[in-house]
Amino acid sequence: MSDGIGRILLAEDNLNDVELTREALAGSNLANEMDVARDGQEALDYLYKAGAYSGRKSADPIVILLDLKMPLVDGLEVLRRVKGDPALSHIPVVMLTSSSEERDLVESYRLGVNAYVVKPVDFKQFVEAVRKTGIFWAVLNNVPRGVPPPGA
């Protein structure tokens, strides 16, 4: 199934959140297909196969889960770059954030985010949110097959 679906890219600086997200996705067979970038710059390197990821062979992720607040380059900036690049803009992006600040929500949608999830304090709700989002975008998103992966 993993071959058929493809990988998920999670950009998240907090290891606890990485682990919780992984746990939340564990029941959906998606966890093993998840790559983690620890900040916005690493996520961009991953996407552009630059820096530490210059030799990345894997296909582009089928969905990007972006934490809003990250060191170096924040989630909004990554979102802006992805959606501003015709080679990447087809990849669905989901914002995962602790904050329910309206201005972040508005800015994210202005930049073309596909979904916006406020991480609840309650873990069960968090699991539900992440699981639904991941599965929704991993399974139901209709990735255009005619688009070749960049650099291929």
E strands within the chain?
Answer: 8-11, 34-37, 63-67, 93-97, 115-118
Please report whether residue 120 would count as binding another protein according to CB under 8 A. yes
Q: Which of residues 53-82 bind another protein (CB under 8 A)?
A: 68-69
How many residues bind another protein (CB under 8 A)? The answer is 19
Q: For 16, how many CA atoms within 13 A lie in the half-sphere containing its CB?
A: 1
Instruction: Compose the 21-50 pattern: x for residues touching another protein by CB under 8 A, - for all others.
Output: --x---------------------------
Region near another protein per CB under 8 A, out of 27-35, 57-65, 79-87, 96-104: 96-104
Count of Cβ atoms closer than 10 Å to residue 16 Cβ: 8
